[in-house]
Copies of this chain bind each other. A is one copy, B any other.
Amino acid sequence: MNKSKITVGVDIGGTNTVFGFIKENGNYLFSNSIPTQAHEDVHTFITRLAHEIKNSFKQYADNYILTGIGIAAPSANNFQGTIDTPSNIKWGKVNFVTLIKKYFQIPIAITNDANAAALGEYEFGLGKGLKNFIVITLGTGLGSGIIISGNLLYSEGGLAGEFGHTIVKPNGRLCNCHRRGCLETYASANGICRTVLDLIARYNEPSELQNIPFTQMTGEIINDLALKGDHIAVKAFQYTGKILGKALANLATSFVPEAIILFGGLSGSGELLLKPTRFHFEKNLLNIHKGKVKIFKSSIENGMAAVLGASSLVNKKINNHVMGININNNIEKNN
């Protein structure tokens, strides 16, 4: 029987790791997620991930063949195959591609998570037809993927930009990168929780959030309370949007993209975040740029932009030379 080809797209976040089996047309067959457990050893994580992928694939093994794995991860270097000391996961520098090849002897590609999301948007989302745009991932941290003239922007060394570590407040909040005032300490899931604590400390307004300890607080909880009119929650979104909008205006001033697409956990809050972000973005843009750069929320459902982009990346790598693997790890030539 002629099996159809699929690739695995993996999106490693600070909190959850999502993976999906992606068909050649970009539709996904299956997706699932496991907790990342940021303090866990990388080897244990990879064992868990490989097990989950192989286990999930069993039900498709009769009809499909896995041709490659594309991985989106923070601080990934696509040339070296490494993940280099991500701020929000305690792995240090590891050659992730080498490690995962022990479980899958098929082509593997890795890139920065925000770059993967940008590639996903470019091929399957709101970036279709655009040449210059920026994807901002608002997860545990804040990542940035930049598409210029239809290509992903990398440094010559393979590293992508880290807009989340733009310093927006001198002597501001301490960041996991050991510096102070980085954008992601304000504009991210973790950042908005820190903002809530700051607001509770500053004001006296009653808020449901006063009952929730920091370790239990999430962007979703703040989102739900903001929708119910909780003042602290509403203010937290306004402040987050203000910081993000101003920082994006500075970025757009140097780079003049056609659009900025927000992706990841916190972008799920939609207008709660978009409205203040757009307001402060426009307010801080140079006059000649005003009204020319749109800010959107990713339209790719279930936050799959990075998974789709990672899958697309490994498909590019596979190109004409396709090696396949079946679930028993027997390599077979598939063409």
Contacts and interface: CB of A to CB of B under 8 A. Distances in A.
Interface of A: 75, 84-85, 131-132, 144, 146, 148-149, 151, 153-157, 159-163, 165-167, 177-179, 246, 249-251, 253-258, 284, 286-289, 292
Contacts of A257: 155
A156 B235 CA distance: 36
B144 A85 contact: no
A156 B258 CA distance: 7
Nearest to A288: B84
Contacts of A253: 161-163, 165-166
Given A167-B246, A288-B84, A159 B256 contact: yes
Contacts of A177: 286-287
A207 to B, nearest CB: 27
A272 B255 CA distance: 29
Copies in the complex: 2
B163 A254 contact: yes
Given A149-B151, A151-B149, A288 B255 contact: no
A286 B149 contact: no
Nearest to A257: B155
Contacts of A246: 167
A240 to B, nearest CB: 17
Contacts of A289: 159, 162
Contacts of A161: 253-256
A298 to B, nearest CB: 20
Given A177-B286, A179-B284, A284-B167, A254 B156 contact: no
A304 to B, nearest CB: 25
A161 B284 CA distance: 15
A111 to B, nearest CB: 14
A250 B167 contact: yes
Contacts of A153: 148, 255
9 contacts: A146-B254, A148-B148, A155-B292, A157-B292, A159-B288, A159-B289, A161-B253, A162-B253, A166-B254
